[in-house]
Structure 1
Amino acid sequence: MSSLLRILRFAPQLNPLYLGIAASAVLAALLALATPFIIGAATDRIVDAVAGRTSVSDAVTSVVWLALAFLAAEVAATAVVSVGGYWGDVMAARMRRILSSRYYDHLLHLPQRYFDTTLTGRIVSRLNRSITELTQFLQFFSNNAFTMLITTAAVLVISAFYWWPLAVLLAVVFPVYMWLTAKTSTRWQVWEGQKNARVDTASGRFAEVVAQMPVVRAYNQQRTELVGFEERFDEAVALTREQSRFWHMMDAWRRLALNAVFGALYLLIFIRTAQGEFSVGDMVILIQLMAMARQPVMSMSYLVDSAQRAVAGSKDYFEVLEQPRERTDGRALPAGAGEPAVRFRDVTFAYDADAERPVLDGVSFDVHAGRKIAFVGESGGGKSTVTNLLMGLYPAGAGAVEVFGQDVAQTDLAALRALIATVFQEPHLFSGTVRENIAYARPDATDAEVRAAAKAAYADGFIEAFDDGYDQVIGERGLRLSGGQKQRIAVARAVLKDAPILVLDEATSALDTKSERLVQAALEDLMVGRTSLIVAHRLSTIRSVDTIVTLRGGRVEEIGAPDELAESGGIYAQLLQLQQAGTKEAKKMLREYGILG
């Protein structure tokens, strides 16, 4: 339950609502307690009239007033409960917003490594399931628990006033019932965690398949995916059977014990009434009080069940929130002069700490401001890893990555990335309009600036041809656009950012020849005056760079100008020869290096 209290402490701004809900619960409980006394008093008046101890007319007058008092109490209780319920619903909605925002904010600042090892669908499933369970419990608790607790306490006090053994028996029931429930809870939590893991895995795969539906259909794997999905839910169903069988068996024993105790209480009340210790009105009052006490106890099963689900959900929620965030307290990183714009000093890195061989092994090079450097090497040789380390997506395992003379490991990552514009092989567009995707680099950009960026990226022509122009909705991941169109919008986004460092990570590798020429022309314009790091795909796209770094097995093999390396006999020279040969064997080797064309 400590995790639930931790959740409540997340939102001190909701304290007024908590107080309002508590106040309405107190009033509702007091008004509900008035009902037994009104009915008890009416019963005594009627009994007196039947026995001849009072006149019928006096009894009728008293009963009428008591009926009006009953109506007033019920109307007031209805109003109070409605207001309290409204506050509870608003509190739950605001709590959901707070929990969701905190979860999202934390995700947005987690290191890239977290997303490399966690299914996207599982992240989304946790958000939906955990927060839904938490808010449902808080809503139920706020709308019901205060009333239940206050009613129970009041019934104990009133019962003690009439006859203390009744209060003692009732007082024993509650802790025993809760103790039995707590004993049940430990095993229940284990099963719930196992179920959540299965459901999260199934949900994660579901989201992945939806995003890759063309591949699923192309390979006719619909049945395979469905079977895997159903198997995980079948496992969850099997766990639910075991969990539910145990829970309801224990719940049945608890309820039987409860029925026995309340049966004894009713028997004692009947005997005391028969012996003349209680009036008929007193008996009616006590029976109703016992019923009022019984309801909270019976409702505790649902309360505990809801609380357990919330606790299980909160564990997953806090598991994410306890992941360390990216560094945001480093030094500022202005684009200064003097030092190289980018420097790698003996950098070693592996994505997996247990890997036998690092992806980068002692890599060193300098890139001076305004210069262009390209990385050439076999697929998996570490070219894209260089750009990932430059952007601070991963920390270097050894050595240092420096930008304008400052170690990336000591800088503010947001300030670092503000200096870098990136065009990836995959454009990574969002659902929405063309304008929104270009302005993603600078949401405050004017319409004129967005259009100028599109023109610089040779994208304004096809954009203007759309029915809605820059307000054209492009669909999820830009599915309504061709590959060349998507990439030119990505280039326009980089143009709009206008950062001093430009990273091109195989930006034209997935394009046809015509689209490549257009995108390459836009990139050539974009690189003017900027420090540019290019992960090469086609050798023809890097002949104009100042420096080429060739990588083999994660190590730097050569560094030099294109003309120098073309004569050195190294990787670059070999690739040029293979490209010129044009044979099937040469093309096969070029593909192994991710280079063809």
Structure 2
Amino acid sequence: MATAANVYWDTYLKSKVSSKVRKSIRIDTLKKVLCLPVSHFDDHHSGELLTRMTNDNQAIGKACSDTMLSLIRNPILALSSFIYLLTINWKLAIICALVGPMTLLVGGGFGKVLRHNSQLLQHRVGGLTSVLQEILGSSQIFKPFGLEKKLLQTFTQNSDDVSKFEIRGGKIQASLSAAANAVGLLSFIVTFIVGAYFTASGSMTVGGLIAFIQLMNHLTWPFTGLASSWGELQQALGAADRIFKTMDERTEFTDIPTHKVNHEFTNMKVDGLSFGYTSSRSILNNVSFHVEAGQKIALVGPSGGGKTTIFKILLGLYEPSGGDIQINENNIRDMKLQELRGYFSFVPQENVMYSGTIRENIACGRLDASEEEIVAAAGDANALGFILELPEGFDTHMGEGGIRLSGGQKQRISIARALLRNAPVLLLDEATAALDNESERLVQKALERLMAGRTTIIIAHKLSTVQQADQIIVIQNGRVAEKGRHDELLQSEGLYHTLYKGIYSESHLKKGKPLYETFPL
């Protein structure tokens, strides 16, 4: 019974320690990841971060239970055995003790190789996870295009790469174990030969030699086991290196802050704004404009001109390389990020929906919102009708990325989220792009309610939707090509005139009327 109880508590306590270590590392890692700037996610695929929080985390947890206990228990067992063997024959005991340094040398040599291989393996696993994420999230593309075979080939190639490093790691681990056992066997043979000599010369009895040989296993076995545990520790350290690399990254915040909406807004001045994602590639060059409270400002121009980049800088996702932005006469460089972001509500072109209910996704706009405020926001966003038609209403689970909803429905959920946030400045990035006419009409009405009484900056390719804007700023190749009201820009016959006439003549005729007369801003 005592043995059974010992096995139970040994297994349970090791499992508990490992679990708590993994949980702590997972939470600390995610906390760090949530504080990383957007630029970090530009350079690192989410699959890589996912691997660090799963596979690497698992390896560290295992090392903190079984491996660490072995590294503590085995030396103690070996030392105790050595002391006991000294009482039988100190000369043979010293010969046996030589197995320790030899085993540690073997473990140290193979350990470095194992650690390096572990890092390379986990990097490949991260790539494999990234490919798998992309495949699983693109069923609506790979099925219509018949990409199953191509994606399988890509996944197989990455899987083969992972398998190669797994097999290599197995070879290294096997070589380490074999070398450690060879050292132990060599020690046994040498001890037996020397012991036989002592017995033949009469300095040691046959019974003493037999007792010594039986007991020396308690000295050699812990050292050979120590080599294997050392190899496992090196693999765990390789995983820890990857996690620590993430933990050492520069962050936006030292700790996750509490965000609050700033309701006071009088004006914003963008002066000489410049930015480049790399030092060799400039996206914005000397962009300047002024926004007064209550105005509707439109950013238009050819794709790739830098319009969305302006939004990213306003939201504090990137730091400008030149120029200044002032809100209420305060430079944003002097603001904390949560203060800066508290001025804005944002409706992106491609909406992000979280796995969970419709209620939870709308409440992302303000986490302390009441049920009445959530329902009101859904109503103002023209989303209440379709939500109530769903079997579970606001408790309907949206699926991964909101896959159970249409594009127009997701867009209206996003607008409801922005309404609930109730920030003074609204940023709209092509909020009606890629929608059918009926969805666009519903979304446009929701946007009208959202823009009412708010300062609004709109990115638009449908120029007919921004004709009533207080100021239209035309961005071309990262520069302000021209700015003014719709009529002024048409009269100047510049780039805006060219864009408007070209788009209008091609696609914006509807029964002899421009689209804005049918769906006014």
TM over 0.5: yes
Q: 1:129 maps to which residue?
A: 55
Equivalent residue for 2:154? Answer: 228
Q: Note if 1:162 corresponds to 2:88.
A: yes
Instruction: Tell me how far apart the structure 1 counterparts of residues 111 and 478 of structure 2 sit (CA, whole Å).
Output: 52
Deviation per CA, 1:330-360, whole angstroms, max 9, x where unpaired? 9x998486862x22110111112222xx111
Runs of 5+ consecutive residues of structure 2 not aligned to the other structure: 509-521
Aligned CA distance change for structure 1 residues 272 and 79 (closer, same or farther; 3 Å): farther
SS at match of 2:367: coil
Task: Assess if the C-alpha contact under 8 Å between 1:333 and 1:416 holds in 2.
Answer: no
**Which residue pairs with 1:445 in the alignment?**
369
Is structure 2 residue 414 aligned with structure 1 residue 500?
Answer: no
- CA drift of 1:180 comes to 1.7
Deviation at 1:543, TM superposition (A): 2.3
Matching of residue 561 in structure 1 with residue 462 in structure 2: no
- Tell me which amino acid in the other structure corresponds to 1:425: Q
Q: Deviations over 1:406-459 (max 9, x none)?
A: 222332112222221110111211111110110112222111111011011111
| SS, match of residue 54 in structure 2 | helix
Alignment of 1:93-492 (within 5 A): 93-242=19-168, 244-245=170-171, 248-249=174-175, 251-266=177-192, 275=202, 277=204, 280=207, 286-327=212-253, 335=262, 340=267, 342-355=268-281, 358-492=282-416
Do the aligned partners of 2:51 and 2:122 also contact (CA within 8 Å) in 1?
no
CA contact (8 A) 2:362 2:417 kept: yes
In structure 2, C-alpha distance between the alignment counterparts of 1:334 and 1:451, rounded to whole Å: 20
- TM-score normalized by structure 2? 0.90
Equivalent residue for 1:519?
443
Q: Please state whether the residue corresponding to 1:345 is helix, strand or coil.
A: strand
Separation in 2 of the partners of 1:336 and 1:491? 18
Q: For 2:164 and 2:403, how far apart are their aligned partners in 1? A: 40
CA-CA distance at 1:371 after TM superposition: 1.5
Mapped contact 2:74–2:226 kept (Cα < 8 A): no
Are the counterparts in 1 of residues 110 and 231 from structure 2 also a CA contact under 8 Å? no
Q: Would the alpha carbon gap of residues 193 and 233 (structure 1) be closer, same or farther in structure 2, given more than 3 Å must change? A: same
CA contact (8 A) 1:112 1:394 kept: yes
Give the deviation of 1:185 after TM superposition: 2.7
Letter in 2 for 1:194: L
Contact 1:333–1:406 at 8 Å: present in 2 too?
no
What TM-score do the two structures reach when normalised by structure 1? 0.79
Q: Aligned pair in 2 of structure 1 residues 491, 318: CA closer, same or farther (>3 Å)?
A: same
| 1:533 corresponds to 2:460 | no
Give the drift of 1:326.
Answer: 1.0
Q: Which runs of 5+ in 1 are unaligned?
A: 1-74, 585-597
Deviates more, 1:285-294 or 1:569-578: 285-294
> Which structure shows the higher helix fraction?
1
Give the Cα–Cα distance (whole angstroms) in 1 for the partners of residues 142 and 225 of structure 2: 47
How many angstroms apart in 2 are the aligned matches of 1:170 and 1:276? 18
Compared CA separation, residues 361 and 178, structure 1 to 2 (3 A): same
Q: Deviations over 1:283-314 (max 9, x none)?
A: 66544432222322222233122112112111
Aligned length: 506
**526-535 vs 190-199, which moves further:** 190-199
Displacement after TM superposition at 1:469 (Å): 0.7
RMSD over aligned Cα atoms: 2.6
Task: Specify the alignment match of 1:54 in structure 2.
Answer: none
Work out whether residues 126 and 317 of structure 1, in 8 Å CA contact, stay in contact via their aligned partners in 2.
yes
Alpha-carbon distance, 1:220 to partner: 1.8
Equivalence for 1:588: none
Identity of counterpart residues, as a percentage? 31
Partners of 1:475 and 1:151 lie apart in 2 by: 54
Change (3 A) 1:211 1:498: same
Partner Cα distance (1:408, 1:150) in 2: 60
Q: CA deviation at 1:262?
A: 1.8
For the pair shown, the structure with the greater C-alpha radius of gyration is 1
Question: In 1, distance between residues paired with 2:314 and 2:151?
Answer: 38
Please state whether the residue corresponding to 1:218 is helix, strand or coil. Answer: coil
1:363 counterpart SS class: strand
Match of 1:578 in 2: 502
Distance 1:99 1:313 in 2: 12
**Is the deviation greater in 558-567 or in 370-379?**
558-567
